[in-house]
């Protein structure tokens, strides 16, 4: 680990991909891996969560903002906790877009995840039009404000943030290390304005076309503490090479 940096975290988000055989392959790939200096986790489709052995750190891709009851097709935090999840991705741009999740709904989900003792991986990130307009920081401020307003800054001691520029997700168009650092530095500064200790300890992941070939340079940026990996997490060798790049 670099001096003054937080412990790295790399999370694989399979999205609506993968199958039983990928569950086996990833477990076998990681069973021999030596990753003592970083943390990692897999967020498979919820239906596969129960297929993993207890050695694989797990996260859910989503949870309901409700506790239980008549919400067909939804999963509560207690259900994903029961299935062994430590993490829950929340506010991913695909859910904000496909499922019309507002900043306020995202904040309610963060509150539920924290109350269950799980770690939210709170995603923020701008579309290309916002980047072109030069209003990235304003856009991210609004996304962050909604969560801070509901749960308070001290709750960020138990929240992982993920910066995912939408234009870089699944496009092969990765943010440059300098672009990523610029935004990660802004996010840490936003937190520091509210509480400098919380800001210094908050893990901020980068997500958007991370691969084995670009992971090391991205992760070496001062405020980049690891990655949220989509496509490359579906290939066990590629995902392991990204984890190894964070295992400093």
Ligand X SMILES: O=C[C@H](O)COP(=O)(O)O
Cβ of residue 68: shortest distance to ligand X, in angstroms? 27
| 164 is an interface residue for ligand X by CB under 6 A | yes
**Of 23, 61, 108, 67, nearest to 230 (Cα)?**
61
CA 11, CA 121: separation in Å to the nearest integer?
9
* Nearest-10 crossing angle of helices 212-219, 236-246: 20
Instruction: Work out how close the CB of 195 gets to ligand X at its nearest, in angstroms, rounded to a whole number.
Output: 27
DSSP 68: S
Across the strands, what pairs with 9? 39, 226
Q: Is 91 in the site for ligand X (CB under 6 A)?
A: no
Q: Indicate which single residue of 22, 136, 229, 246 sits in contact with ligand X (rule: CB under 6 A).
A: 229
Say whether residue 44 binds ligand X (CB under 6 A): no
Residue 92 known to be catalytic? yes
Residue 231, annotated as binding a ligand: yes
Quote the longest CA-to-CA distance of the chain. 49
181: number of Cβ within 10 Å: 18
Q: Binding-site residue total for ligand X (CB under 6 A)? A: 14
* 14 close to 56: Cβ distance less than 8 angstroms: no
Q: Which is nearer to ligand X, 126 or 199 (CB)?
A: 126
Q: Is residue 120 part of the contact set for ligand X (CB under 6 A)?
A: no
Q: Which stretch, 45-53, 141-149, 229-237, 240-248, contacts ligand X (CB under 6 A)? A: 229-237
Task: Pick one of 230, 240, 243, 247: the residue that binds ligand X (CB under 6 A).
Answer: 230
156, 159, 160, 126: which is closest to 141 by C-alpha?
Answer: 126
* Residues involved in catalysis: 92, 164
Instruction: Report the interface residues with ligand X, using CB under 6 A.
Output: 13, 92, 164, 169-170, 207-210, 228-232
Q: Which residues are annotated as a binding site for substrate?
A: 13-15, 170, 209, 230-231
């Amino acid at each position: 680990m670099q001096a003054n940096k937080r412990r790295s975290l790399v999370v694989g988000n399979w999205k609506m991909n993968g199958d039983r055989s990928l569950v086996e392959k990833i477990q076998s790939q990681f069973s021999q891996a030596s990753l003592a200096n970083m943390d990692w986790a897999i967020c498979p489709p919820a239906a596969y969560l129960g297929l993993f052995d207890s050695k694989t750190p797990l996260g859910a891709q989503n949870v309901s903002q409700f506790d239980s009851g008549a919400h067909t097709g939804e999963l509560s935090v207690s259900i994903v906790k029961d299935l062994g999840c430590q993490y829950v991705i929340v506010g991913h741009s695909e859910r904000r877009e496909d499922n019309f999740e507002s900043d306020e709904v995202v904040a309610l989900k963060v509150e539920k995840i924290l109350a269950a003792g799980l770690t939210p991986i709170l995603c923020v990130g701008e579309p290309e039009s916002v980047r072109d307009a030069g209003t990235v920081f304003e856009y991210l401020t609004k996304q962050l404000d909604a969560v801070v307003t509901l749960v308070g800054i001290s709750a960020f001691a138990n929240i992982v943030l993920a910066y995912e520029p939408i234009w870089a997700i699944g496009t092969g168009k990765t943010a440059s290390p300098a672009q990523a650092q610029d935004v990660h530095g802004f996010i840490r500064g936003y937190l520091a304005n509210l509480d400098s200790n919380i800001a210094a300890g908050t893990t901020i992941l980068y997500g958007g076309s991370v691969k084995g070939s670009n992971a090391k340079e991205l992760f070496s940026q001062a405020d980049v503490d690891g990655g949220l990996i989509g496509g490359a997490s579906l290939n066990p060798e590629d995902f392991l090479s990204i984890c190894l790049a964070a295992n400093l």
